Structure 1
Amino acid sequence: MAHNRRMRTQVETKRLLLRPLTGDDFDDYAAMLADPEVAAGLAESTGTSAADAWRSLATFIGHRHIRGYSHFALVEKDTGRFVGRAGPWQPHGFPGLGVGWCLDRRFWGRGYATEAAHAAVRYCFTDLGATEIVSVILPGNERSATVAERVGHRFLRELTYRGQQARLYGQSADEWRARENSATV
């Protein structure tokens, strides 16, 4: 993967602006992760306290400095409200270049996760030059499994990640290109 490319720092979709997470996002980010139902679906979750949210946000911001990319803040274009986070991710020990998403529960059911995940998948293949991307999804998180399938991921295998059972979904660049080409025909 080419890390020396000049990568876009923001991406736009029809309804969302994907921009780098910053310290200014902390209050909204902490409120999102304080919801036990949101936190329960996260493979990377370490808790729901403000201190846990601070470490999580700092990790994503630091990841951008180390790798050159990370999850983006998701912001509603019409209102400017923080919706969640989504984007590429490959911390130490992760099973490949990952794409993940997490939304504040107030925004569930609006298609934002799928919209943001589509943008993140495209970013990985076009901007990062990925040959394959994956997503780690916890058992029982059917909402995320549905988003993964909607963006072209297929179930790859069961795995243990950070001491918990999970399911690995993914797709290759060739699979993604074939779908993109068939969608434009």
Structure 2
Amino acid sequence: MSVVETERLLLRPLAGDDFDDYAAMLADPDVAGGLAESVGTSPADAWRSLATFIGHREIRGYSHWAIVEKSTGRFAGRAGPWRPHGFPGLGVGWCLARDHWGKGYAAEAGRAAVAYCFTELGADEVISVILPSNVRSIAVATRIGHTHLRDTTYRGQEVHIYGQSRPGTGNPPPL
């Protein structure tokens, strides 16, 4: 999986060395509670979550990246392509530590992830699965070009599916 650079961010593969920052991010109940992939806030929960993303990369060849601020080298969160077993399509997602909220990093990383899905993975459609209560992620989805496609149940939770088709395909997203 390649490293992706944006204007302000370095998106690189998640690694074991990210654990302390990753665990601190998920220890915030407002961060963990906004995720459609339910995770807890304990260090053990963070370990399982990080291992899942790293394992996903080994199985699929792609996964979420660590989001690193270019200007400081600080870990800011994770974002990237994602399609675990049972997921309703090739997705992109994002999760940022609270002290990085409001900087536009989620949209910047989300746009890079969508582009990666279309150019590197050959996707015709990219989706994001978002809890209805997560208005911040809904706003990010809209900023990266997603539109609301449908509602469904995923892992026992009601979720919104936002998404977009590959530019120029003329294929509208399924309803």
Shorter-normalised TM range: over 0.9
Between Structure 1 and Structure 2, the one with more helix by share is 1
How many angstroms apart in 1 are the aligned matches of 2:168 and 2:25?
33
How many angstroms apart in 1 are the aligned matches of 2:103 and 2:169?
24
Partner of 1:87: 80
Structure 1: tracts of 5 or more residues without a match: 1-7, 178-185
1:24 to 17, 23, 26: 17
- The AA in structure 1 aligned to 2:138 is A
How many angstroms apart in 2 are the aligned matches of 1:150 and 1:176?
21
Q: Confirm whether residue 48 of structure 1 aligns to residue 37 of structure 2.
A: no
- The AA in structure 2 aligned to 1:92 is H
- The AA in structure 1 aligned to 2:12 is R
Give the alignment of 1:158-177 within 5 angstroms.
Answer: 158-174=151-167
How many angstroms apart in 1 are the aligned matches of 2:103 and 2:136?
12
2:100 to 107, 113, 121: 107
Q: Confirm whether residue 124 of structure 1 aligns to residue 113 of structure 2.
A: no
8 Å CA contact 1:60, 1:71 repeated in 2: yes
Q: Confirm whether residue 60 of structure 1 aligns to residue 58 of structure 2.
A: no
Aligned length: 170
How many angstroms apart in 2 are the aligned matches of 1:32 and 1:120?
20
Structure-1-length-normalised TM-score: 0.90
8 Å CA contact 1:30, 1:53 repeated in 2: yes
How many angstroms apart in 2 are the aligned matches of 1:56 and 1:71?
11
- Relative to structure 1, the CA distance from residue 166 to residue 175 in structure 2 (aligned partners, 3 Å threshold; closer, same or farther) is farther
Structure-2-length-normalised TM-score: 0.95
How many angstroms apart in 1 are the aligned matches of 2:163 and 2:129?
9
How many angstroms apart in 2 are the aligned matches of 1:122 and 1:35?
30
- The AA in structure 1 aligned to 2:45 is D
Offset of residue 175 of structure 1: 6.0
- The AA in structure 1 aligned to 2:152 is L
- Relative to structure 1, the CA distance from residue 142 to residue 175 in structure 2 (aligned partners, 3 Å threshold; closer, same or farther) is farther
Deviations 1:73-130 (A, max 9, x none): 0000010000000000000000000000000000000000110001001000011110
Partner of 1:3: none
1:150 to 143, 167, 170: 143
Partner of 1:78: 71
Partner of 2:173: none
- Relative to structure 1, the CA distance from residue 49 to residue 176 in structure 2 (aligned partners, 3 Å threshold; closer, same or farther) is farther
How many angstroms apart in 2 are the aligned matches of 1:112 and 1:46?
22
Q: Confirm whether residue 12 of structure 1 aligns to residue 5 of structure 2.
A: yes
- Relative to structure 1, the CA distance from residue 112 to residue 176 in structure 2 (aligned partners, 3 Å threshold; closer, same or farther) is farther
Identity of aligned residues (%): 73
How many angstroms apart in 1 are the aligned matches of 2:45 and 2:165?
33
